[in-house]
Structure 1
């Protein structure tokens, strides 16, 4: 049985993991600041010791992140501290105490100008400060000597915290029509499926069945645009999807550049023998079945 430490445990993915794991400590940033070296070392040391005493397998799943994409453009030092230094400190502590580490990253490490799904072997070329800090975190983890895996995901939504699905539900209640960008393409990912995938990986991390590829992609299967995603949300809400109108990225300029194409290939995930994620549209329907009140009343 696993014993998990989930930094960033109060975020939407961290809370989902905590709800699905059997033995877990999921501290928020106030309880475990990943930029505090002493606190990180103590947390990992305690995890390793407690797991050993109880015959459990310790794993750290790092969900802590500075993910305010636009704010990172003017707050890059803070973003780097959390997204770059934090993973470095966690990886060093995990290496010292022989604890496997799974670090969650993002599609923003890629430039977003491709025309085919990004493989784990493709070079990273982030175009935003946020993406650059996440790429730094990946490098720190993979170069640490720890038994570690980086799992990139994208367009994450879930029952906890703020996200695109909840934003669409709020706007649907206050506006007759919405304009949503239709020239950015990616893979919506439900935290329920992502959490299950991370737990499956965690169960293998300390065994001889652990994936040899230390970079993996885990997203909902298939891809779509933000506009089509919004229309699907309206369908789940029982509303007319034609209320959502397409627009271009140029019509809604943002401080940080958005990837036009950030579809991630799950080839390495499948080759590792891990369970493929379900199609994103099916996952959205299941998410509404399980957590409809969270989405309808954000």
Structure 2
């Protein structure tokens, strides 16, 4: 049995890890949420690691409010950089492998082809800068590390684009969506399953697989194109009582959608390395998005409304 300590409990990724773990009988996940360890004040990380002495540590927690980070840089630094540095130091001290998650926002979006793991990083805002600082701490302090960069996560849990669009499509006649930012919408279910699938490889003493990987879906889309996919599949999943299937979706430019921080116009990540080195392959977007919408429908149905 592989004993895993997971920092994070209520976020999208942590909740999907918990759900997908039922498929892996040889992996035991132990979650630590904010009530036990607030990563803005990471004074008891050492106590938690010392007490459990896990086989591997996963950091599934992060400060992800991209716009808010511009006015709360201290909070973003504390969670995305300082706490990660502490985890890296302590896992290295005990010779424990460390898995950390990062983001497409470490790039500036100026590329014209999918980013590979060795491409130049140049984050545009505080969020991306703090995530990059976390990456650097992991690499500098624990040689037995894995950094999984992902993008545009969605799931039935927490706040995310899919849930927001389902609500807006149900509530408004017209939904205006940015059409000039391109990325890889990725199901947190798929990410969690892929990580758990390869996790045993990182527990070995001399694993050759340590390093940085891009783990995203295979289909780049704009936010607007993704919304159209949500609408089509949503109509099938939610049924004729869902009004969102008939709403108008209007493409707009980034300039028409005010934001405190500039976002990468092109943040497509190549997942070739993780496929070839670790054998991680994701389902089609139709399957992945369909599963999330189906589970979302189950949750909302218990509340007697779609959203």
| Shorter-chain TM-score above 0.5 | yes
Instruction: Give distance in 1, aligned partners of 2:150 and 2:300.
Output: 21
- Counterpart of 2:133 in structure 1 is 136
The Cα of 1:179 is off from its aligned counterpart by 0.5
- Counterpart of 2:107 in structure 1 is 110
Indicate which of 264, 269, 285 corresponds to 2:274: 269
Q: Pick which of 135-144 and 95-104 moved more.
A: 95-104
- Residue 81 of structure 1 pairs with residue 78 of structure 2: yes
The Cα of 1:36 is off from its aligned counterpart by 4.1
- Ranges in structure 2 where 5+ consecutive residues have no aligned partner: 22-26, 236-243
Instruction: Give distance in 1, aligned partners of 2:4 and 2:117.
Output: 25
- Counterpart of 1:236 in structure 2 is 233
What do residues 230-283 of structure 1 show as CA deviations (whole Å, max 9, x unaligned)? 111111221436621111000002001111000000122022133222233331
- Counterpart of 1:18 in structure 2 is 18
- Residue 150 of structure 1 pairs with residue 160 of structure 2: no
Q: Pick which of 276-285 and 11-20 moved more.
A: 276-285
Alignment of 1:206-221 (within 5 A): 206-207=203-204, 210-212=207-209, 214-221=211-218
Q: Is the 8 A contact 2:144 2:210 kept in 1?
A: no
Q: Pick which of 215-224 and 12-21 moved more.
A: 12-21
Return the TM-score normalized by structure 2: 0.89
Q: Is the 8 A contact 1:212 1:272 kept in 2?
A: yes
The Cα of 1:195 is off from its aligned counterpart by 0.3
Instruction: Give distance in 2, aligned partners of 1:233 and 1:247.
Output: 17
- Counterpart of 1:30 in structure 2 is 35
Instruction: Give distance in 1, aligned partners of 2:7 and 2:82.
Output: 14
- Ranges in structure 1 where 5+ consecutive residues have no aligned partner: 52-57
RMSD: 1.9
Instruction: Give distance in 2, aligned partners of 1:281 and 1:37.
Output: 40
The Cα of 1:137 is off from its aligned counterpart by 0.2
Q: Is the 8 A contact 1:166 1:295 kept in 2?
A: no
The Cα of 1:188 is off from its aligned counterpart by 0.6
Q: Pick which of 184-193 and 194-203 moved more.
A: 194-203
Q: Is the 8 A contact 1:118 1:264 kept in 2?
A: yes
What do residues 85-131 of structure 1 show as CA deviations (whole Å, max 9, x unaligned)? 11111111111112111001000000011110000010110011100
SS of 2:132's equivalent?
helix
The Cα of 1:211 is off from its aligned counterpart by 4.7
Instruction: Give distance in 2, aligned partners of 1:192 and 1:250.
Output: 32
What do residues 197-255 of structure 1 show as CA deviations (whole Å, max 9, x unaligned)? 11123221112684535010101112101001111111122143662111100000200
Instruction: Give distance in 1, aligned partners of 2:123 and 2:281.
Output: 26
- Counterpart of 1:289 in structure 2 is 294
Q: Is the 8 A contact 1:100 1:205 kept in 2?
A: yes
Q: Is the 8 A contact 2:178 2:223 kept in 1?
A: yes
- Residue 249 of structure 1 pairs with residue 254 of structure 2: yes
Alignment of 1:24-103 (within 5 A): 24-48=29-53, 51=54, 58-103=55-100
Q: Pick which of 18-27 and 62-71 moved more.
A: 18-27
Instruction: Give distance in 1, aligned partners of 2:5 and 2:300.
Output: 28
SS of 1:258's equivalent?
coil
Indicate which of 114, 119, 122 corresponds to 2:116: 119
- Counterpart of 2:241 in structure 1 is none
SS of 2:147's equivalent?
strand
Instruction: Give distance in 1, aligned partners of 2:207 and 2:279.
Output: 10
Q: Pick which of 279-288 and 120-129 moved more.
A: 279-288
Q: Pick which of 34-43 and 79-88 moved more.
A: 34-43
Instruction: Give distance in 2, aligned partners of 1:13 and 1:195.
Output: 7
Instruction: Give distance in 2, aligned partners of 1:209 and 1:243.
Output: 55
The Cα of 1:292 is off from its aligned counterpart by 3.0
Q: Is the 8 A contact 1:223 1:280 kept in 2?
A: no
Alignment of 1:147-186 (within 5 A): 147-186=144-183
- Counterpart of 1:54 in structure 2 is none
